[in-house]
Amino acid sequence: MKLQVLFLVLVASAHAVSDHAPEPGPATAHAAKPGPPAPVHPDKDDSPAHAHPAKPSPPAHTQPAQPSPPVVSTSSPTSSAQPSESSPATVLPPPDALDSGNTGANGGKSWSNAFAKAQAVVMQMTIEEMANLTTGTDGLCVGNTGSVPRLNIPSLCLEDGPVGVRGAHGVSQFPAGLTSAATWDRNLIYARSKAMGQEFRDQGVHIPLAPVTGGPLGRSVLNGRAWEGTFADPYACGEASYQAVAGMLNSSVAPVAKHFIAYEQETFRDQYSAFPAPDQAAQLPISSNVDDKTTHEVYLWAFTEAVRAGTSHIMCSYNRINDTHACANAYSLNYLLKTELNFQGSVVSDWGGQWDNVDSARNGLDMGMPGFGYGGFFGSFWGSNMVDMVNNGTITEQVLRDKVIRILTSYYHLGMDINPLPDVGFNALFPLSYFPDRFRNVRKPGTTDLIREIGSSSVTLLKNTGGLPLNNPQRIAVLGNDASDNVLGVNACGSYGSGCDYQNLNGTLTTGGGSGSSFAPYIITPIDALKQRAIETGAEIGAVISQSGSAAETAAISELLRTADATLVFVNRYSAEAVDIPDLSIPEDQDFLIAQAVNYSSNVVLVIHSTGVVDIEKWVENENVTAIVMAYLPGQEAGAGLIPVLYGDISPSGKLPWTWGKSIDDYPPNGIIDDPVFSPEVNFTEGAFIDYRWFDQKNITPRYEFGFGLSYTTFDYSELVIDCTGSSDNTSYMATAEKFAESDGTNSLYDVLFTASAVITNSGNVTGSEVAQLYISIPEEGQPIRMLRGFDKVKDIKAGACATASFAIRRKDVSVWSVVDQQWYVPNGTFTIAVGGSSRNLPLSVTWTP
């Protein structure tokens, strides 16, 4: 039995090798203020980014396939799925919309030249050569395509991940997506992605497996890898996704938006789960059973923004969707993605997400990864099987040709044929923690400043009764290993971050685990930064970094804290890909550390590095806890970004990207399904009511609401004004084909209908930045009480000064999805527009009528 368990654990661990998914600065997706520069692409003659979306040409139909509707399985049927009890019956698109030949690739709004070039090149290929480009093979990267040397097409390198080039040395460890979200700063999200994209390119990576654009979105607070993503809100996640895709593109690499779609738990995610299936063979992955309205209004939203920004690829997820594998689901891939969203790029499978040859080929998958890499551990599909399927008529040659055109269009669009990438500078299959056999330093001088700025801007002050900012304390006590170094070395936990016991002395938690992790060149710990400050101020620092709970340790803490002016306690909570967390607790040894601190000190500042919400109810209201800070996962510059905020050099301006509940029972039930069955199912019966929407609907008071964060100053809101002067869509780099009731052939779902603005006054004594948030209440039955539809981070407002926050509201932002008509529409009635500093602090409101 032990051997069997060990084998299962090893399989689960080996699988984390990929995902492989990690998943323009176009101008701010639709903010009134100018955003980052528009993407600059080598395909200069393509359609301008500001042109009105053109209607898509009718797609050709070739090889018919059975439709894969949202609730009925078309491949690998398993147990029946029940749609949401509160959702209307799903109305399906016409069957021909699901036809396997209905791919419709034509280059879209901005890729026409690259599409034509790819089409011309692919027409010269043999069936074998085309199959070679759609199938993964062995190589130095976590994913590698075949090549076509006679046509000057190299093997394309695909590599994790969302915080940097995983497995490589000489690169930066960036703050996690979660951390960038906590800044609520579109410019920083864009800059992070652009800098990361440049390091990918310089290491020889054509296709970074990033960013995470809504998969997971954050349906469950227990999700093990939600930290790779951004906000637990469709709109905000969409804004972050747009900027992240834009940044990658402007470094001339081809981003992969992931994981598509409704991928909301790690437990039972795929056939490599550690759960022993009844027949000791393959357990089916979890089926996310979600209705059509929720799909459109919640889970598709952020991916739509990634498509609008011009993402090159989209990764299909491990889970099933309404009982059909996500990577062989004609409805989600051929209809939702390639038809409704008019996505012109390719769909790549997650590593092990492909389950067959035929259905995946017919139903929308374009690139199978890792294919025959890893010795076939993740399944060996396509390759020569693809050749056979074309030759025997199982699929048409046109279907295969379309896949290859989709793969190569972004390659040509980004000028990779004209400006080739360097050879791969690392070995992802054998990523040594130290002294690698390949080393290439690609870090740029300004990147450390950017990482540090993201860290500082994300710091979220949750409680402050006088503990912060630190008032030049002369005796500082520091408790907790999270403040210090990993005793085994900076990268001792491996390229997946999972090679250590995280209840041991592993140092400052700077990133989560799994394929979304990466090596750090160094980590500036909080103690490192405190020491530097002590040199400047003449302070003394004493630290107890062990967490054994021994009598000797308790005595040392007592002695240290007895004469300390301030006590800083550092704790963390780790999570990783492939495993969901069981509860919201922090490790017991750290809980004990906090108990010791409040026993011996009346001025305890608690700093949390975590992948998500943790239970703080035991001590949040303890009067000796004078401040609580959430520092998320800050990357290599951890202490350098944090300490200036603690000392007041920078006023904290981070805000929560999700709701911080008091108990796991505050959140929607049925979040993570772990029933030991062969065909696990999870019904998304909460519909659109996730995170703060659930708390609002159920009238639950959270510990800290969505969008909450304190400052060292205060802000007053006034003069909320609605300007009904509209404007045409100028943010869709690629145009979708979404239907909407108000369409007249010249307008767009993304036209701006009105702009709201409010005056923010700094009524305190120090300079500070404020994230102003706009929520809309839509007059339609079944809609959430309020939904985020705008945010604007107004920076560096001096004491006594004011600034204006602006919010451009698009037609889609005030629309709802009609299941019957299969289109968006603006409801009749009066809308309430509310503005403030968080989802439950909204001092201003006005009404608007279409």
Specify the pLDDT at position 412: 99
Q: Tell me what percent of the residues of the chain surpass a pLDDT of 90.
A: 80
Taking only the tens place, the pLDDT of each residue in 156-171 is: 999 999 999 999 999 9
Asked whether the beta carbons of 188 and 454 are under 8 A apart, the reply is yes
The domains located in the chain, with CATH, are: 447-666 (3.40.50.1700), 713-848 (2.60.40.10)
Question: Rounded mean pLDDT of the chain?
Answer: 88
Q: How crowded is residue 375: how many other Cβ atoms within 10 Å of its Cβ?
A: 9
User: Can you point out the beta strands (E) in 473-539?
Assistant: 475-479
Comparison of pLDDT for 367 and 30, the residue scoring more? 367
- Average pLDDT (578-598) is 95
**Amino acid 84: pLDDT:** 36
pLDDT at 56 over 70: no
- Check whether 86 has a pLDDT greater than 70: no
Q: What is the pLDDT of residue 489?
A: 82
- What pLDDT sits at residue 4? 28
Is 305 strand, coil or helix?
A: helix
DSSP codes of every residue in 700-732: ---SB-TT--B-SS-EEEEEEEEE---B-----
Confidence of residue 103 (pLDDT cuts 50, 70, 90): low
Tokens describing residue 411: 């390659």
CA distance 794 to 234: 22
pTM equals 0.90
Phi then psi dihedrals of residue 630, to 5 deg: -100, 120
Q: Is the pLDDT of residue 64 over 70?
A: no
Q: Per-residue pLDDT tens for 241-272? A: 999 999 999 999 999 999 999 999 999 997 65
Question: Which tens digits make up the pLDDT trace of 615-672?
Answer: 999 999 999 999 999 999 999 999 999 999 999 999 999 999 999 999 999 999 999 9
Q: Cβ of 398: how many Cβ atoms within 10 Å?
A: 14
Q: In this predicted model, what pLDDT tens digit does every residue of 479-533 receive, in sequence order?
A: 999 999 998 888 888 877 777 775 556 899 999 999 999 999 999 999 999 999 9
Q: Which residues, 6 or more positions from 669, have their beta carbon under 8 angstroms from its beta carbon? A: none
In percent, the amount of the chain with pLDDT more than 70 equals 85
The token pair at 187 is 């410019």
Q: Which long-range contacts (CB under 8 A, 24 or more apart) does 815-819 make?
A: 815/740, 815/749, 816/297, 816/778, 816/780, 816/783, 817/292, 817/293, 817/296, 817/297, 818/741, 819/87, 819/88, 819/89, 819/90, 819/91, 819/291, 819/292, 819/293
For the segment 110-156, what is each residue's pLDDT rounded down to a tens digit? Answer: 999 999 999 999 999 999 999 999 999 999 999 999 999 999 999 99
Q: What is the mean pLDDT of residues 323-347?
A: 97
Residue 380: what pLDDT?
A: 81
Catalytic residues, which ones?
350
Rounded CA separation 747/724 (Å)? 16
Considering only 192-206, 217-231, 315-329, 370-384, which range has the smallest mean pLDDT? 370-384
Q: How far apart are CA 158 and CA 35, in angstroms?
A: 29
Which structure tokens are listed for 478? Answer: 């520091």
**Per-residue model confidence (pLDDT) at position 272:** 55
Confidence check: pLDDT of 35 > 50: no
pLDDT at residue 678 in the model: 87
pLDDT at position 78? 31
Q: How far apart are CA 47 and CA 482, in angstroms?
A: 51
**For position 435, what pLDDT does the model report?**
67
pLDDT at 72: 26
